[in-house]
Copies of this chain bind each other. A is one copy, B any other.
């Protein structure tokens, strides 16, 4: 069989010409911080296709600018939004704790602070929303504007609530919800092979791992029931009426644009109104700036290693960076290392220290051999797109979980960044450089990811425009979430059938007993 890869650019071009909805009006409720980066990709694409976008932001927002060529904004005067300063401080403390090998108890305390802060942010979001809905001039103007849909991130409740209030179709741009990973809110999730997020399990679990998985699920459920529900109830009661349940608002979304890709994640049950757009930010590499290109070319046949650990790398103890740089110095490869701290004393001549690097263009360069990464979702997805194997050194959040998935697929080696020294790090690098399976596996994932009938971003836009054209996508959405749990799981039916069977068996047994007694009695009386 002759076969040839589908050129994704060509499909993108095809798909573009499918766009035939022009001038739609989209109301966006984003989440600040890294989530905004993902939302902004959709906003720019929608704008480029002729739609008008209005973005809600709080006056305290860090990332979401008030003015943009791609959208107009409505600013609510609250300090709400993403508290970057707090988050940075907390995460750097988390790094210190891990680096210093402090007790799990100390770490748990910080994680607790993070959870409390999350709840505080949700509370602020609710206050911002109250302010919004109390401003009758503003809500009237929103009604008058006749938007076509609300595009929202379901990590916070605003989008779903506003869509309900304005009676508009709802599209989610989602990886997480308050209930955990996005799928958990609407798709059946057999815990025997669907790992809960964050706990570094795969779709092949042993008994104890499955026990852990069930316990984590219970934790999420309890949190939803006893923390989130009481938090939202007074608000939904006041503004939307007593019959409105917050979780049902979430579950009632028309389309879930899921930042998930089964090349990256494990296959699991899904729903007809879930549209996968994992890797929607990926794009072919552009040529590098000349000086960087010269540096890369100077690596000759050995190629280059890229290291980018996100913005938090400057928080790492100097010792770790020194050890890493020392390991790099022993390699024949050239190394491009993103690092904003003090220059390591062990830095080799082969290593270029940069404050920022064109990550996508470097990953797409033919000379790139290994990506040393902390395991942020977008970075991993870009590595998959370009087929570059990963040496993973996760720091926190979803990073260990992301990298454990890549490890399970044979496309990454994962090391504990806080215990690496120059020898172990060098050994790790050499393993990923010279053991061909890492590259082969990642290249296979890359081929699978790129071989789709439509580019993920085009698919996302198609379904947003679909919702505009048809005022929703009700035919793809089950309404099973409106059932009580015992009905959904047929518990009532099973109990009923058990009762019927018991009655039947009991009647039969008693009937037989009665008959036997009668026959015995007759015989006895005859004998007598």
Contacts and interface: CB of A to CB of B under 8 A. Distances in A.
A192 B489 contact: yes
A440 to B, nearest CB: 14
Interface residues of A, number: 71
B23 A2 contact: yes
Interface stretch (A152-160, A261-269, A326-334, A340-348): A261-269
A99 interface: no
A359 B71 CA distance: 50
Interface string A344-381: 00000000000000000000000000000000000000
A478 B267 contact: yes
Contact of A3 (B4, B203, B468, B480): B468
Interface string A3-29: 111100011001101101111110000
Contacts of A451: 466, 469-470
How many copies of this chain are found per oligomer?
2
Contacts of A489: 190, 192
A270 B276 CA distance: 13
B470 A448 contact: yes
A459 interface: yes
Contacts of A492: 207, 210
A479 B211 contact: no
A218 to B, nearest CB: 9
Contacts of A476: 262, 267
A191 B489 CA distance: 8
B270 A480 contact: no
A1 B464 CA distance: 13
Contact of A2 (B5, B22, B190): B22
Interface stretch (A108-116, A493-501, A510-518): A493-501
A273 interface: yes
A453 B18 contact: yes
A475 B488 contact: no
26 contacts: A1-B23, A1-B24, A2-B23, A3-B469, A4-B20, A10-B17, A14-B15, A190-B480, A190-B489, A190-B490, A193-B479, A193-B483, A193-B488, A203-B479, A207-B492, A210-B487, A210-B492, A262-B272, A262-B475, A268-B478, A269-B269, A447-B470, A448-B475, A451-B470, A453-B453, A453-B458
